[in-house]
Structure 1
C-alpha cells in the first residue's frame, strides 16, 4: 500500500491544540511547550511552514510502523525538525486479533492502561524529548485521541495537573471527532481494509465515542491510582527520572 492508494489529500489538522493554560504544580502551563494533534504526516505545506515558524522543533509520532509506511512524513519531513517515531502500538493488526476492536469507553480505558504498561519505555523517551527540546514538541497519532491522549495524560501527570483537568483536556477531542473521522478516513479506511476489517463498521463505531469521552480517561487514571498509588509508577519503572520531571516542570513554567 502507498499514499497513492488511499486517495489522501493534504489538509490542516482538525484536532490540534496547545496544552498551554492547564493548571499544573506551581502555576499555569505555558503555551509553546507541547502541542497535541491529529496526524501531522499529511498536513499541507502551508501548515508545515506555519508550525515551524511558530517554534515547532520536534515531532513525536506515536503511530504504528504500518501507519507510517502508508503516509510517510509528508511536507514536515522537508523541515529541520527532530523526528521521533515512538509507536505505542507496534502492530495494529496483531493488537486487534481477528476481529474489530471493542468500541466502548470502558474498553478504551483498558486499552489505555495496556499502552501505559506495555509502552512505558516509549512514553519515557517521549517525555524526555519534550523535556529537552529547545522549542515546541508536537505529538500525534492518527486521530489525536487515544495514543495522543495517553501521552498527554502522562505529561500532565508529570507536571502535577489534577485528574479532573487531564480528563477535561482529553474530552475536548470529542467535539472534533466528526472532522477527525472525515480527515483520517482515506488512510485509516485503506489500512483497515488491508487488514481484513470492515472499515465502514469501524468508522460507525468510532462515532459512538463522540459523547461522554471523559469515561475512558477517568477509567485509566482511576485504575493506575488503584493499582500503583502513583499513576506514574509504570513509567518510573521504565526509567522516568525525577530529574526529567523537574526539567519538564521548569520548562513548563518558564516565561
Structure 2
C-alpha cells in the first residue's frame, strides 16, 4: 500500500484508508470502510468537503477531554456517530522533563500500558466497530500513531492481516506526520522519539500480549470481547 491510500488534506496528515490489505483466507479489507488518522482540528472547509464525500459515518476519538478542548475536531455534516473513548496515557511533565534517551524508553512503556491498562477502552472500540454494519469507521487520536496505531494493529490482527503488513502500516505514521510536527522537533530534538512510530514501540505491546495474555487471538476474544467472525464479515471482501 502506497501513498494512494493516504487521504490528502490541508489540515490533517495521517488519514489513511486501511482497505486492500489481505486478511483471513486472502480476502482483502474493503476499500472505504476503515480509516485511521490524526485529529481534524485544522481541517479546512475543502477538507470537510472531501471527507463528506467518503463519507465518514462513525468517528472514534481516543483523545482525552483536555486534548479535545484544546483542539476540537471539525467534522463534516454527514457524520452520524461521534464516540469519545478516552485513552489517557503519560503525563505532560514526563514528556517535558525527559533526558536524552528517556523519550524512547517512555514510548515503549506507553505501548506496554496500552495493552495492559486500557482493555476496557479497546473493548469499546471493538464493540463499535462490530456495530457499524453499513457505514465507514474513522478512528483517531492526536497524531494518529500510538493510541490509533495500537487500535489499527489490533483490528488488522482480528481481520487476519499478516504481522509484517501490520508493522509496515504502523511505521508509515513516522513519515506522514513529520510535516505536522517538524517545527516542534527542530526546537526540541530530544523529544523526537515521541513523534516516531518505531517498530520497538508496537513490538513491546504485542510482546506483552504474548507473554501476559496468551497471544493476540486470545487477547482479542477473551480480553477485548472482539467478535472476530462478525468483523471479518463486515470488513473483508466476500468470496
Q: TM-score scaled by structure 2?
A: 0.81
Aligned position for 1:195? none
1:137 partnered with 2:122: no
Aligned position for 1:220? 205
Cα shift at 1:23: 1.9
Would you say how many aligned residue pairs link Structure 1 and Structure 2? 226
Tell me the SS of whatever aligns to 1:23.
coil
User: How well do the aligned residues superpose, as a CA RMSD in angstroms?
Assistant: 2.9
Cα shift at 1:33: 2.0
Cα shift at 1:231: 2.2
Deviations along 1:9-32, one digit per CA (max 9) or x if unpaired, are x94311111111222112221212
| Aligned residue runs from structure 1 range 106-145, under 5 A | 106-133=105-132, 134-145=134-145
Q: 1:212 and 1:151, CA in 2 relative to 1: closer, same or farther beyond 3 A?
A: closer
Is the Cα contact below 8 Å between 1:109 and 1:216 reproduced in 2?
yes
1:15 partnered with 2:14: yes
Cα shift at 1:210: 7.0
Cα shift at 1:54: 1.0
| Aligned residue runs from structure 1 range 161-172, under 5 A | 161-172=161-172
Q: 1:117 and 1:232, CA in 2 relative to 1: closer, same or farther beyond 3 A?
A: farther
**Distance in structure 1 (CA, Å) of the matches to 2:142 and 2:197:** 21
Cα shift at 1:135: 1.4
**Distance in structure 2 (CA, Å) of the matches to 1:25 and 1:79:** 32
Deviations along 1:61-81, one digit per CA (max 9) or x if unpaired, are 01111100112232x064443
Tell me the SS of whatever aligns to 2:143.
coil
Cα shift at 1:211: 7.1
Q: 1:251 and 1:12, CA in 2 relative to 1: closer, same or farther beyond 3 A?
A: same
Q: Any gaps of 5 or more consecutive residues in structure 2?
A: 1-8
Aligned position for 1:151? 151
Q: 1:229 and 1:251, CA in 2 relative to 1: closer, same or farther beyond 3 A?
A: same
Tell me the SS of whatever aligns to 2:103.
coil
**Distance in structure 1 (CA, Å) of the matches to 2:109 and 2:181:** 22
Deviations along 1:227-254, one digit per CA (max 9) or x if unpaired, are 223225455455514xx22111011213
**Distance in structure 2 (CA, Å) of the matches to 1:114 and 1:165:** 23
Point out the more displaced range, 42-51 or 148-157.
42-51
Deviations along 1:65-116, one digit per CA (max 9) or x if unpaired, are 1100112232x0644431011111167448x488449421x54233112112
Aligned position for 1:193? none
**Distance in structure 1 (CA, Å) of the matches to 2:197 and 2:61:** 27
Q: 1:239 and 1:98, CA in 2 relative to 1: closer, same or farther beyond 3 A?
A: same
Q: TM-score scaled by structure 1?
A: 0.77
Tell me the SS of whatever aligns to 1:139.
strand
1:254 partnered with 2:237: yes
Cα shift at 1:213: 1.9
